[in-house]
Amino acid sequence: MKVSYYPGCSLHATGKEYDLSIKTVSSALDIDLREVEDWSCCGASSAHMTNFKLSVALPARSLIAAEKDPGDVMVPCAACFNRLKTAQYHLRRDESLKKEIEEVVGGTFHDTVEIRHPLDIFYNDIGTDTMSAKVRKKLAGLKPVSYYGCLLLRPPEICQLDNYENPVIMDNLLNSTGAESMPWSYKTDCCGGSLTLGKTDVVVRLVDKLMTMAREAGANCLVTACPVCFANLDMRASENVRLPTFYFTEILALALGLEGPESWFRIHNTDPRPLLKSLNLL
C-alpha cells in the first residue's frame, strides 16, 4: 500500500522518535511512505490565532503539493492534521475563499488527496487482528492510558476520526499488543499545546493534572499520537507525579519486535526504560 507522508516540522526535530517509529512500523506493515515534495509548515496555532487567511493558505500550499500524488496522505502530528483538514474543509465549502487562496498560493486546489492520521490507517486499513497476529512480544504488565488530546478530534465535523468524547481506536490498537489500556476520563483534555513557551505555568498545571489522573486510573505510562502533546507530557510534568510517555507507534514497534525502540527511548526526557525493564519488556 502506497501512502504519501507529510511529517511536519516537529517530526524532523523534537518529534524525531515519532518519525522513526512510524517509518519502522509502516514498513513492517507493507505501507510504502513517500514524503510530499517540498512541503511547508502548516502554520500551526500561531497562524490561525492571528491571521485566518494565512492559516488556510499555508496548508493549502502543501495540499496542492501533495496532489502530485493523489490518494491518502499520512499526517502524524495532530496539529498538522487539524490544520490541513481545516483548510481542506474551508476550500471545499467556500468557492470565493478557494479562488482567493489559489491566487495567494499560485496553484489550483483539485481536492484529490485525503488527509489521514496514522491511527486511522493502522486501525481501519490494517486492523487489530492483523496487528495482534504480528505481535512477537506481548506487552503484559504495560498499563497505558491513551491520551488523544484536542486536535485529533475537535471540531468533530472536520476531524471525523473517532467518537470525540470517548475515542477508542488508540486503546484498541494498544490492547492488540497485549498491553492493558486503562479507562480514564481525560482522553481528550487539553495539555496546553502551544502555550508551552509563552505560558509555561499553565501547561505545567494541565500536564500535572493529566499525570495525576493517569495514576489514579492505575496506569504506569501515557501514550500519545501527537508530538506537541508528547513534548508537553514528556518534559513539563512535575517530578512527584511524572510517568513515562510513549508514542503509540513506539509501543507497536516494541510489540512487533522491530529494530529501534531502545534507541528512541534513550532520547525521551522522562526515561521509560526502567519501567520496561521492570516488566521484562526490554
Partner 1 sequence: MATFLEEVNEKINGVPIQACYHCRKCTAGCPVAFAMEHNPNKIIKMIQMGMREEVLNSSTIWLCASCETCVTRCPNNVDIARMMDVLREIAIESKVPAKEKKILKFHEAFLSNIKSGGRINEPMMIVNYKLRSGDYFSDMAMGMSMFMKGKIKLISPRTKDMKSVRAIFKSTGA
Q: Assess 49 for contact with partner 1 (CB under 8 A).
A: yes
Q: Is residue 206 part of the contact set for partner 1 (CB under 8 A)?
A: yes
CB of 253 to partner 1, least distance (A): 18
Scanning residues 121 to 180, which ones bind partner 1 (CB under 8 A)?
Answer: 150-151, 154-156, 164
DSSP E strands, 85-232: 113-116, 144-147, 221-224
Q: Which of 93, 95, 106, 259 binds partner 1 (CB under 8 A)?
A: 106
Eight-class DSSP state of 124 = I
Choose among 61, 18, 11, 20: nearest CA to 40: 61
User: Segment near partner 1 (CB under 8 A), from 25-33, 66-74, 101-109, 126-134?
Assistant: 101-109
Site mask for partner 1 (CB under 8 A), range 62-81, x = bound: --------------------
Distance CA 250, CA 241 (A): 22
**Considering beta carbons, is residue 44 or 275 the nearer one to partner 1?**
44
267/151 Cα distance (integer angstroms): 25
Distance CA 215, CA 228 (A): 21
95: helix, strand or coil? helix
Angle (CA) 41 120 107, round 5°:
35
Which CB sits closer to partner 1, 154 or 215?
154
For partner 1, the closer CB: 95 or 129:
95
d(CA 132, CA 198): 42
Instruction: Give the residue ranges of DSSP H helices in 29-177.
Output: 44-50, 52-66, 78-93, 95-105, 118-120, 128-134, 156-159, 169-175
In the bound state with partner 1, the residue whose beta carbon lies nearer, of 114 and 189, is 189
Residue 195 contacts partner 1 per CB under 8 A: yes
Candidates 3, 4, 6, 10; binder of partner 1 (CB under 8 A) is 10
Residues that bind partner 1 (CB under 8 A): 9-10, 12-14, 16, 38-41, 43-54, 57-58, 61, 103-106, 150-151, 154-156, 164, 188-190, 192-195, 197-200, 202, 205-206, 235, 266-267, 269
